[in-house]
Amino acid sequence: MRSERGSIPASRVNHAATITRKARQMLLGFLAGRKQHGSSSPAHVLRQAQDERGLLPSHGSTSPTSSDSARSRSSPRAGQKSSLRAGRYERVARALGRLAIVLFILAMPVFLVTSNVRMAFDSLRLYRYGFERYDVVSTTGLDMEQLMTVAREFRDYFHSSQELLDVRVTLGGEERALFNQREVLHMRDVKGLVRRVYRLQEVAGAYIAGYVVVALLATRGRGVRSLAGRVLVGSVLTVGLLALGGVALLVGFDRLFQVFHILGFPGGNWSFDPRYNYLTRLFTEGFFMDATLLLALATVAEALLLALVAWGIRKRMPGSLRR
Protein backbone atom coordinates (compact mmCIF):
# COMPACT_ATOMS: atom_id res chain seq x y z
CA MET A 1 0.00 0.00 0.00
CA ARG A 2 1.33 3.41 -1.05
CA SER A 3 1.48 6.32 1.25
CA GLU A 4 0.08 9.72 0.16
CA ARG A 5 3.51 11.35 0.49
CA GLY A 6 4.97 9.24 -2.37
CA SER A 7 2.13 9.82 -4.90
CA ILE A 8 2.60 12.19 -8.01
CA PRO A 9 0.18 15.07 -8.46
CA ALA A 10 -2.09 14.91 -11.52
CA SER A 11 -1.05 18.40 -12.71
CA ARG A 12 2.56 17.34 -12.99
CA VAL A 13 1.58 14.24 -14.95
CA ASN A 14 -0.38 16.32 -17.43
CA HIS A 15 2.50 18.78 -17.86
CA ALA A 16 4.97 16.00 -18.57
CA ALA A 17 2.62 14.50 -21.12
CA THR A 18 2.33 17.85 -22.87
CA ILE A 19 6.14 18.24 -23.07
CA THR A 20 6.49 14.74 -24.41
CA ARG A 21 3.88 15.38 -27.09
CA LYS A 22 5.60 18.62 -28.21
CA ALA A 23 9.01 16.92 -28.34
CA ARG A 24 7.55 14.17 -30.49
CA GLN A 25 6.03 16.77 -32.85
CA MET A 26 9.39 18.58 -33.14
CA LEU A 27 11.17 15.31 -33.86
CA LEU A 28 8.65 14.43 -36.56
CA GLY A 29 9.03 17.90 -38.07
CA PHE A 30 12.83 17.61 -38.05
CA LEU A 31 12.67 14.21 -39.77
CA ALA A 32 10.27 15.59 -42.36
CA GLY A 33 12.67 18.47 -43.09
CA ARG A 34 15.53 16.02 -43.47
CA LYS A 35 13.66 14.07 -46.10
CA GLN A 36 12.68 17.23 -47.94
CA HIS A 37 16.16 18.87 -48.11
CA GLY A 38 18.34 15.81 -48.16
CA SER A 39 20.71 17.11 -45.51
CA SER A 40 20.72 16.83 -41.75
CA SER A 41 24.11 18.24 -40.88
CA PRO A 42 24.22 20.74 -38.03
CA ALA A 43 25.87 23.29 -40.30
CA HIS A 44 23.02 23.00 -42.76
CA VAL A 45 20.44 23.34 -40.01
CA LEU A 46 22.29 26.37 -38.59
CA ARG A 47 22.56 28.00 -41.99
CA GLN A 48 18.88 27.38 -42.66
CA ALA A 49 17.95 28.90 -39.34
CA GLN A 50 20.16 31.94 -39.97
CA ASP A 51 18.67 32.30 -43.39
CA GLU A 52 15.16 32.29 -41.93
CA ARG A 53 16.17 34.99 -39.45
CA GLY A 54 17.74 37.16 -42.22
CA LEU A 55 21.30 36.90 -40.88
CA LEU A 56 22.88 35.69 -44.17
CA PRO A 57 23.19 37.96 -47.23
CA SER A 58 21.03 37.05 -50.19
CA HIS A 59 22.48 36.12 -53.59
CA GLY A 60 21.87 39.64 -54.95
CA SER A 61 23.42 41.30 -51.93
CA THR A 62 26.20 43.86 -52.51
CA SER A 63 27.92 43.20 -49.19
CA PRO A 64 31.72 43.38 -49.71
CA THR A 65 33.66 40.13 -49.70
CA SER A 66 37.32 39.75 -48.77
CA SER A 67 38.42 40.08 -52.43
CA ASP A 68 36.25 43.18 -52.83
CA SER A 69 37.86 44.66 -49.73
CA ALA A 70 41.34 43.95 -51.14
CA ARG A 71 40.45 45.56 -54.45
CA SER A 72 38.98 48.57 -52.67
CA ARG A 73 42.18 48.96 -50.68
CA SER A 74 44.44 48.55 -53.75
CA SER A 75 42.41 50.66 -56.21
CA PRO A 76 43.50 54.07 -54.81
CA ARG A 77 47.14 53.00 -54.96
CA ALA A 78 46.77 51.71 -58.52
CA GLY A 79 45.02 54.92 -59.55
CA GLN A 80 47.81 56.97 -58.03
CA LYS A 81 50.45 55.01 -59.97
CA SER A 82 48.50 55.44 -63.19
CA SER A 83 48.22 59.17 -62.59
CA LEU A 84 51.95 59.47 -61.93
CA ARG A 85 52.75 57.51 -65.06
CA ALA A 86 50.45 59.70 -67.17
CA GLY A 87 52.03 62.84 -65.72
CA ARG A 88 55.52 61.54 -66.50
CA TYR A 89 54.57 60.78 -70.11
CA GLU A 90 53.06 64.25 -70.46
CA ARG A 91 56.24 65.92 -69.18
CA VAL A 92 58.39 63.87 -71.55
CA ALA A 93 56.10 64.72 -74.48
CA ARG A 94 56.30 68.43 -73.68
CA ALA A 95 60.10 68.30 -73.38
CA LEU A 96 60.37 66.51 -76.72
CA GLY A 97 58.06 69.06 -78.31
CA ARG A 98 60.21 71.95 -77.08
CA LEU A 99 63.35 70.19 -78.27
CA ALA A 100 61.80 69.70 -81.72
CA ILE A 101 61.00 73.43 -81.91
CA VAL A 102 64.54 74.42 -80.89
CA LEU A 103 66.04 72.05 -83.46
CA PHE A 104 63.75 73.45 -86.15
CA ILE A 105 64.84 77.01 -85.39
CA LEU A 106 68.53 76.04 -85.33
CA ALA A 107 68.18 74.01 -88.54
CA MET A 108 67.14 77.09 -90.49
CA PRO A 109 70.50 78.96 -90.45
CA VAL A 110 72.33 75.65 -90.95
CA PHE A 111 70.23 74.82 -94.01
CA LEU A 112 70.47 78.29 -95.53
CA VAL A 113 74.25 78.56 -95.08
CA THR A 114 75.04 75.04 -96.30
CA SER A 115 72.69 75.42 -99.28
CA ASN A 116 74.53 78.56 -100.36
CA VAL A 117 77.89 76.84 -99.85
CA ARG A 118 76.71 74.06 -102.13
CA MET A 119 75.56 76.51 -104.77
CA ALA A 120 78.88 78.37 -104.53
CA PHE A 121 80.90 75.22 -105.24
CA ASP A 122 78.63 74.46 -108.21
CA SER A 123 78.57 78.02 -109.62
CA LEU A 124 80.74 78.43 -112.71
CA ARG A 125 79.88 82.12 -112.65
CA LEU A 126 81.59 82.45 -109.27
CA TYR A 127 84.68 80.71 -110.61
CA ARG A 128 84.78 83.04 -113.61
CA TYR A 129 84.33 86.05 -111.34
CA GLY A 130 87.38 85.02 -109.33
CA PHE A 131 89.48 84.36 -112.42
CA GLU A 132 88.65 87.74 -113.89
CA ARG A 133 88.74 89.70 -110.63
CA TYR A 134 92.23 88.52 -109.68
CA ASP A 135 93.74 88.22 -113.18
CA VAL A 136 94.35 84.49 -112.95
CA VAL A 137 95.09 84.32 -116.71
CA SER A 138 98.35 86.22 -116.24
CA THR A 139 99.34 84.51 -112.97
CA THR A 140 98.86 80.97 -114.30
CA GLY A 141 99.58 81.30 -118.01
CA LEU A 142 96.26 79.61 -118.79
CA ASP A 143 93.70 81.25 -121.04
CA MET A 144 90.11 81.70 -119.86
CA GLU A 145 88.90 78.68 -121.81
CA GLN A 146 91.33 76.39 -120.00
CA LEU A 147 90.53 78.05 -116.69
CA MET A 148 86.82 77.33 -117.14
CA THR A 149 87.70 73.74 -118.01
CA VAL A 150 89.56 73.56 -114.71
CA ALA A 151 86.48 75.02 -112.96
CA ARG A 152 84.28 72.28 -114.45
CA GLU A 153 86.75 69.65 -113.33
CA PHE A 154 86.51 70.98 -109.77
CA ARG A 155 82.72 71.03 -109.84
CA ASP A 156 82.46 67.50 -111.19
CA TYR A 157 85.09 66.23 -108.75
CA PHE A 158 83.03 67.23 -105.70
CA HIS A 159 80.05 65.21 -106.99
CA SER A 160 81.97 62.14 -108.13
CA SER A 161 83.36 59.07 -106.41
CA GLN A 162 86.82 59.91 -107.71
CA GLU A 163 89.29 60.01 -104.82
CA LEU A 164 92.08 62.09 -106.33
CA LEU A 165 91.72 65.15 -108.55
CA ASP A 166 93.46 64.81 -111.90
CA VAL A 167 93.37 68.00 -113.98
CA ARG A 168 95.45 68.18 -117.12
CA VAL A 169 96.18 71.37 -119.05
CA THR A 170 98.39 72.52 -121.91
CA LEU A 171 101.28 74.77 -120.90
CA GLY A 172 103.94 75.84 -123.40
CA GLY A 173 102.52 73.45 -125.96
CA GLU A 174 102.89 70.50 -123.62
CA GLU A 175 100.10 68.63 -121.81
CA ARG A 176 100.79 68.13 -118.13
CA ALA A 177 99.13 67.67 -114.74
CA LEU A 178 98.22 71.01 -113.22
CA PHE A 179 98.63 70.04 -109.57
CA ASN A 180 101.44 68.31 -107.74
CA GLN A 181 100.94 65.48 -105.24
CA ARG A 182 100.66 67.75 -102.21
CA GLU A 183 97.95 69.80 -103.86
CA VAL A 184 96.10 66.66 -104.93
CA LEU A 185 96.12 65.30 -101.39
CA HIS A 186 94.87 68.62 -100.05
CA MET A 187 92.00 68.57 -102.55
CA ARG A 188 91.10 65.09 -101.33
CA ASP A 189 90.71 66.56 -97.83
CA VAL A 190 88.73 69.48 -99.24
CA LYS A 191 86.38 67.07 -100.98
CA GLY A 192 85.78 65.18 -97.73
CA LEU A 193 84.90 68.42 -95.95
CA VAL A 194 82.65 69.56 -98.78
CA ARG A 195 80.80 66.26 -98.85
CA ARG A 196 80.15 66.53 -95.11
CA VAL A 197 78.71 70.00 -95.70
CA TYR A 198 76.45 68.52 -98.37
CA ARG A 199 75.23 65.80 -95.98
CA LEU A 200 74.59 68.39 -93.28
CA GLN A 201 72.52 70.42 -95.71
CA GLU A 202 70.47 67.36 -96.65
CA VAL A 203 69.85 66.39 -93.03
CA ALA A 204 68.84 69.93 -92.06
CA GLY A 205 66.55 70.23 -95.07
CA ALA A 206 64.94 66.85 -94.38
CA TYR A 207 64.33 67.77 -90.73
CA ILE A 208 62.77 71.12 -91.66
CA ALA A 209 60.49 69.50 -94.23
CA GLY A 210 59.53 66.69 -91.87
CA TYR A 211 58.82 69.09 -89.01
CA VAL A 212 56.57 71.24 -91.19
CA VAL A 213 54.58 68.22 -92.41
CA VAL A 214 54.18 66.71 -88.94
CA ALA A 215 53.24 70.07 -87.39
CA LEU A 216 50.54 70.72 -89.99
CA LEU A 217 49.16 67.19 -89.81
CA ALA A 218 49.15 67.14 -86.00
CA THR A 219 47.19 70.39 -85.84
CA ARG A 220 45.08 69.65 -88.93
CA GLY A 221 46.31 72.84 -90.53
CA ARG A 222 45.50 75.03 -87.53
CA GLY A 223 49.16 75.43 -86.55
CA VAL A 224 50.16 77.52 -89.57
CA ARG A 225 50.47 80.71 -87.57
CA SER A 226 52.61 79.08 -84.88
CA LEU A 227 54.78 77.51 -87.57
CA ALA A 228 55.20 80.89 -89.24
CA GLY A 229 56.29 82.33 -85.90
CA ARG A 230 59.03 79.72 -85.60
CA VAL A 231 60.17 80.45 -89.15
CA LEU A 232 60.31 84.11 -88.20
CA VAL A 233 62.47 83.33 -85.15
CA GLY A 234 64.79 81.14 -87.22
CA SER A 235 65.13 83.83 -89.87
CA VAL A 236 65.96 86.52 -87.31
CA LEU A 237 68.50 84.18 -85.73
CA THR A 238 70.10 83.61 -89.14
CA VAL A 239 70.38 87.34 -89.81
CA GLY A 240 71.89 87.94 -86.38
CA LEU A 241 74.48 85.18 -86.73
CA LEU A 242 75.47 86.28 -90.23
CA ALA A 243 75.72 89.91 -89.13
CA LEU A 244 78.17 88.94 -86.39
CA GLY A 245 80.06 86.74 -88.81
CA GLY A 246 80.25 89.52 -91.37
CA VAL A 247 81.72 91.93 -88.85
CA ALA A 248 84.28 89.30 -87.83
CA LEU A 249 85.22 88.74 -91.47
CA LEU A 250 85.75 92.43 -92.12
CA VAL A 251 87.80 92.89 -88.97
CA GLY A 252 89.99 89.79 -89.03
CA PHE A 253 89.50 87.67 -92.14
CA ASP A 254 93.15 86.59 -92.30
CA ARG A 255 93.04 85.19 -88.79
CA LEU A 256 89.66 83.48 -89.32
CA PHE A 257 90.88 82.02 -92.60
CA GLN A 258 93.87 80.51 -90.83
CA VAL A 259 91.79 79.15 -87.94
CA PHE A 260 89.35 77.59 -90.39
CA HIS A 261 92.14 75.73 -92.18
CA ILE A 262 93.73 74.59 -88.93
CA LEU A 263 90.42 73.12 -87.73
CA GLY A 264 89.29 71.83 -91.11
CA PHE A 265 92.61 70.32 -92.18
CA PRO A 266 94.47 69.10 -89.08
CA GLY A 267 97.00 67.32 -91.31
CA GLY A 268 98.60 70.70 -92.05
CA ASN A 269 98.71 70.29 -95.85
CA TRP A 270 96.91 73.53 -96.56
CA SER A 271 99.76 76.04 -96.83
CA PHE A 272 101.23 76.53 -100.32
CA ASP A 273 103.76 78.79 -101.98
CA PRO A 274 102.13 80.44 -105.04
CA ARG A 275 105.49 80.47 -106.80
CA TYR A 276 105.43 76.67 -107.07
CA ASN A 277 101.75 75.73 -106.68
CA TYR A 278 98.75 76.47 -108.84
CA LEU A 279 96.02 76.13 -106.23
CA THR A 280 96.83 79.44 -104.58
CA ARG A 281 97.11 81.11 -107.99
CA LEU A 282 93.71 79.84 -109.08
CA PHE A 283 91.96 80.63 -105.79
CA THR A 284 93.52 83.54 -103.98
CA GLU A 285 92.78 84.62 -100.44
CA GLY A 286 90.95 87.64 -101.86
CA PHE A 287 88.71 85.32 -103.86
CA PHE A 288 87.80 83.36 -100.72
CA MET A 289 86.97 86.57 -98.87
CA ASP A 290 84.75 87.79 -101.70
CA ALA A 291 83.03 84.41 -101.97
CA THR A 292 82.40 84.32 -98.20
CA LEU A 293 80.90 87.81 -98.19
CA LEU A 294 78.69 86.98 -101.17
CA LEU A 295 77.56 83.81 -99.42
CA ALA A 296 76.74 85.75 -96.24
CA LEU A 297 74.81 88.42 -98.17
CA ALA A 298 72.83 85.80 -100.06
CA THR A 299 71.97 84.00 -96.83
CA VAL A 300 70.88 87.23 -95.13
CA ALA A 301 68.71 88.14 -98.13
CA GLU A 302 67.03 84.72 -98.07
CA ALA A 303 66.47 84.90 -94.31
CA LEU A 304 64.93 88.38 -94.61
CA LEU A 305 62.62 87.14 -97.37
CA LEU A 306 61.51 84.21 -95.21
CA ALA A 307 61.01 86.54 -92.25
CA LEU A 308 58.86 88.86 -94.37
CA VAL A 309 56.72 85.96 -95.60
CA ALA A 310 56.33 84.54 -92.08
CA TRP A 311 55.41 87.95 -90.68
CA GLY A 312 52.81 88.40 -93.42
CA ILE A 313 51.27 85.01 -92.65
CA ARG A 314 51.00 85.79 -88.95
CA LYS A 315 49.47 89.17 -89.68
CA ARG A 316 46.91 87.98 -92.22
CA MET A 317 46.03 84.62 -90.67
CA PRO A 318 42.28 84.40 -89.83
CA GLY A 319 41.46 84.63 -86.16
CA SER A 320 40.05 81.09 -86.07
CA LEU A 321 43.48 79.74 -87.04
CA ARG A 322 45.58 81.78 -84.66
CA ARG A 323 46.86 78.95 -82.54
Q: Is residue 243 part of a domain?
A: yes
In one-letter notation, the amino acid at residue 244 is L
**So what's the pLDDT on residue 56?**
47
Q: Is residue 114 part of a domain?
A: yes
- Tell me the whole-structure pTM to 2 decimals: 0.70
Q: Is residue 128 part of a domain?
A: yes
Q: Is residue 3 part of a domain?
A: no
Domain span including residue 308: 86-134+200-321
Q: Is residue 41 part of a domain?
A: no
Q: Is residue 166 part of a domain?
A: no
Domains identified in the chain, total number: 1
**So what's the pLDDT on residue 39?**
47
Q: Is residue 174 part of a domain?
A: no
| Residue in 20, 23, 40 with CA at minimum distance from that of residue 31 | 40
**Positive/negative CA dihedral, 127, 129, 133, 138:** positive
Residues 6+ apart with CB under 8 A from 59: none
CA dist 184 and 153 (Å) reads 13
**So what's the pLDDT on residue 256?**
85
Cβ-based neighbour number of residue 188 at 10 Å: 15
Q: Is residue 9 part of a domain?
A: no
**So what's the pLDDT on residue 15?**
58
Determine contact, residues 298/116, Cβ cutoff 8 Å: yes
**Bridge-partner residues for 171, per DSSP?**
174
**Could you list the mean pLDDT of each consecutive 10-residue stretch along the chain, which spans 323 residues?**
48 60 62 52 50 48 51 60 74 88 97 96 96 94 95 95 93 89 93 95 97 91 89 96 88 84 80 86 92 94 96 78 45
